[in-house]
C-alpha cells in the first residue's frame, strides 16, 4: 500500500462516525482491503464498501477526492457533524446525481442525505425546497387544528450596491451573518429559509400578524445593535402575510407577503409591513386596453413626460399596469384609457400597491378616483355582466 492509499485509509477511518452502528464492521473491512498484497483496485474496493456499485480505479480515486472535500465542507463550513457514510450518499445522490434509488443505499441514510439536500450551502439554513415542503405542512396543520401562523419575507436593502462596492465575497459574508442573526432571534419551531439571492423567508407557527411584526422589529433592532451590520449600514425590509385572517392558500400567502415586502421597499425600506386583505368590490378582468399615463404634480426629480402601456387587468374600480417608471405609493396618475370602440376616457388613478420586476419594470395597482357615472357605464359596457 503506497502513501496515497495510506492517506485514504486513514481519512476513511477518522471520518466514520463514532455513532455509526456499523463502524466496527466497516473498520474490519477497511483493514482487510488495506492488507491485500494486490492493491491495484484499492480505491474502487474501498468505495464498494459504501455504495453497491463498481467503478474503475481511476474514477474511484477522483470520487474519493471529491467525497473528502464534500465531507470537509459539511464539518468545517456548515458545522454539520455527520458521518462519512451520509456524506458519501449525499455526494452520489444530490451532488454527483449518480443515483436516486434508495435500493442502492441504506434507506435511513438515504433519508438523512435528503435532509442534507434541504440545507443552503452558503448560509447553513434551510433552502427553497425545504420552504415549499414546510409551508404545505404548516398550512395543513393550521387547517386541521384551527391554528393561525404567519409568513415573513425579508429582503436585504440595497444588496446590489453592497456587492458592487465591497465585492461578492463580502456579500456572501453578509448573507451568512444575517442568517446567523435570524437563527439567534427565532424560536426552535420557526422554519428559517433562504428563499433565493438576498431574500429570506420565515414560517412562524401559531403566530399572528402582529406577533410576526414584533419579530420583524427584533430583527431590525438586532441589525442596528450588531457591530458588523451597523458599520456597513445594513438594513432589511419585510412583508408579512397570515393565516387564516387574510390569506388561506399557500399561493396567496406567498404572493401577498411578497406584495407587502415590495410595499415596504416603496415606503422607504428598513421596515416590515403586514399584508392588507384586499376586499375587492368588483371582479378584475384580463383586458389589454391602451393607456397613456402621466404623473400629477411631479417633483423636480421625477419625469413628467407622458408614457404609454396597456392594462393587464381592469374593473370599474381600478386597473393593473406594467411600466418602467418608478413611482411611490399614493402617487396619482392621469390616465387616458382607449376603449375597444375607439372612444377614450380620462380618469385619475391612485397607486395602492406596487411591485418591482426584473430590470427596471414595475407593476402598479391603481384605484380609480372620482369616477363619473358616464365613465363607469362606458367601462362597464365592455366588461362581462356581474
Task: Answer whether 80's CB lies under 8 Å from 114's CB.
Answer: no
Q: How far apart are CA 386 and CA 375, in angstroms?
A: 17
pLDDT of residue 101: 46
Q: Containing domain of residue 150, as a range?
A: 128-274
Residues 86 and 135 in one domain: no
Q: 142 falls in which pLDDT band (50, 70, 90)?
A: confident
- How far is the first Cα of the chain from the last one, in angstroms, to the nearest whole number? 83
Long-range contacts of 96-101 (CB under 8 A, 24+ apart): 96/63, 96/66, 98/51, 98/53, 99/53
Same domain, 111 and 135: no
Q: Is the pLDDT of residue 52 over 50?
A: yes
Same domain assignment for residues 250 and 340? no
Q: Residue 263 has which C-alpha cell?
A: 410595499
- CATH for 318: 2.40.10.220
R_g (Cα) of the chain, nearest Å:
28
Residue with cell 396597456: 310
**Does 173 lie in the same domain as 87?**
no
> Per residue in 181-228, pLDDT tens?
999 999 888 999 999 899 999 999 989 888 899 999 999 999 999 999
Answer whether residue 162 shows pLDDT above 60.
yes
- Does 364 map to a domain? yes
What number is the average pLDDT over the span 71-84?
75
- Residue 38 has a pLDDT of 66
- In the structure grid, which three cell numbers stand for residue 317, read together? 374600480
Shared domain check, 301 and 257: no
- Look at residue 385 and tell me if it is in a domain: no
| Together in a domain, 168 and 206 | yes
Residues of the chain above pLDDT 70, percent = 85
| pLDDT surpasses 70 at 1 | no
pLDDT of residue 361: 87
pLDDT confidence of 3, banded at 50, 70, 90? confident
Instruction: Specify if 373 maps to a domain.
Output: yes
Give me the pLDDT at residue 354, please: 83
Number of domains comprising the chain:
3
Q: Is residue 122 part of a domain?
A: no
Flag whether 284 is in a domain: no
Domain boundary (274, 305, 327) is at: 274
Q: How confident is the model at residue 234 (pLDDT cuts 50, 70, 90)?
A: very high
- Residue 263: pLDDT over 80: yes
Same domain, 160 and 221: yes
Amino acid 375: pLDDT: 85
Q: Give the mean pLDDT of 59-81.
A: 82
Judge whether 341 lies within some domain.
yes
Is 281 part of any domain?
A: no
The mean pLDDT value for 348-372 works out to: 85
Q: For the chain, what is the mean pLDDT?
A: 84
pLDDT (0 to 100) of residue 18: 67
Q: Is the pLDDT of residue 301 over 60?
A: no
pLDDT, residue 103, reads 40
Of 241, 274, 307, the residue at which a domain comes to its end is 274
- In this structure, the answer to whether residues 204 and 303 fall within a common structural domain is no
Instruction: Indicate if 295 and 263 belong to the same structural domain.
Output: no
State whether the Cα torsion 378-383-385-386 is positive or negative: negative
42 Cβ partners below 8 Å, 6+ apart?
A: 1, 5, 8, 33, 34, 36, 57
Q: Is residue 282 part of a domain?
A: no
Residue 265 sits in a domain of what CATH number?
3.30.70.270
- Evaluated on CA atoms 258, 260, 261, 266, the torsion sign reads positive
Does 136 score more than 80 pLDDT?
Answer: yes
CA pair distance 51, 377, nearest whole angstrom: 72
Alpha helix stretches (DSSP H) within 204-249: 209-225, 227-231
Tell whether omega for the bond before 244 is within 30 degrees of 0, i.e. cis. yes
Q: How far is CA 277 from CA 86, 249, 261, 371, in A?
A: 46, 13, 14, 23
pLDDT digits (tens, 9 = 90+) for 84-127: 877 887 788 776 655 544 444 454 444 555 566 788 889 989 99
* Domain identity same for 14 and 40: yes
Domain boundary among 74, 92, 116: 116
Q: Check whether residue 304 and residue 228 sit in a common domain.
A: no
Q: What is the pLDDT of residue 96?
A: 66
Q: Is the pTM of this model over 0.75?
A: no
Q: Which residues are catalytic?
A: 198
| Domain match, 111 and 150 both | no
Amino acid at each position: 500500500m503506497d502513501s496515497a492509499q495510506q492517506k485514504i485509509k486513514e481519512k476513511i477511518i477518522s471520518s466514520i462516525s463514532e455513532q455509526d452502528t456499523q463502524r466496527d464492521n466497516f473498520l474490519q473491512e477497511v483493514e482487510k482491503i488495506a492488507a491485500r498484497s494486490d492493491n491495484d483496485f484499492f480505491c474502487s474496493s474501498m468505495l464498494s464498501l459504501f455504495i453497491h456499485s463498481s467503478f474503475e480505479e481511476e474514477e474511484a480515486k477522483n470520487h474519493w477526492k471529491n467525497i473528502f472535500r464534500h465531507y470537509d465542507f459539511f464539518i468545517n463550513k456548515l458545522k454539520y457533524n455527520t458521518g462519512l457514510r451520509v456524506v458519501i450518499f449525499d455526494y452520489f445522490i444530490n451532488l454527483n446525481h449518480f443515483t436516486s434509488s434508495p435500493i442502492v443505499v441504506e434507506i435511513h441514510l438515504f433519508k438523512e442525505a435528503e435532509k442534507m439536500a434541504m440545507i443552503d450551502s452558503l448560509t447553513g439554513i434551510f433552502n427553497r425546497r425545504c420552504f415549499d415542503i414546510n409551508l404545505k405542512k404548516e398550512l395543513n396543520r393550521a387547517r386541521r387544528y384551527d391554528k393561525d401562523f404567519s409568513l415573513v419575507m425579508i429582503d436585504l436593502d440595497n444588496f446590489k450596491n453592497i456587492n458592487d462596492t465591497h465585492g461578492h465575497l463580502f456579500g456572501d459574508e453578509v448573507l451568512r451573518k444575517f442568517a446567523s442573526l435570524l437563527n439567534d432571534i427565532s424560536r426552535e419551531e420557526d422554519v428559517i429559509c433562504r428563499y433565493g439571492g438576498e431574500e429570506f423567508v420565515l414560517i412562524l407557527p401559531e403566530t399572528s400578524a402582529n406577533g410576526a411584526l414584533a419579530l420583524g422589529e427584533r430583527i431590525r433592532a438586532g441589525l442596528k445593535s450588531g457591530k458588523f451590520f451597523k458599520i456597513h449600514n445594513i438594513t432589511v425590509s419585510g412583508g408579512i402575510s397570515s393565516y387564516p385572517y387574510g390569506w388561506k392558500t399557500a399561493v396567496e400567502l406567498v404572493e401577498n407577503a411578497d406584495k407587502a415586502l415590495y410595499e415596504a421597499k416603496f415606503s422607504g425600506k428598513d421596515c416590515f409591513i403586514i399584508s392588507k386583505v384586499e376586499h375587492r368590490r368588483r371582479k378584475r378582468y384580463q383586458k389589454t386596453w391602451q393607456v397613456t399615463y402621466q404623473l400629477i404634480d411631479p417633483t423636480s426629480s421625477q419625469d413628467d413626460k407622458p408614457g404609454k402601456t396597456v392594462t393587464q387587468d381592469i374593473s370599474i374600480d381600478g386597473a393593473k399596469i406594467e411600466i418602467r417608471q418608478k413611482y411611490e405609493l399614493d402617487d396619482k396618475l392621469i390616465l387616458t384609457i382607449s376603449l375597444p370602440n375607439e372612444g377614450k376616457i380620462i380618469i385619475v388613478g391612485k397607486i395602492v400597491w406596487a411591485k418591482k420586476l426584473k430590470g427596471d419594470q414595475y407593476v402598479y395597482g391603481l384605484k380609480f378616483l372620482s369616477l363619473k357615472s358616464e365613465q363607469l357605464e362606458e367601462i362597464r359596457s365592455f366588461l362581462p355582466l356581474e
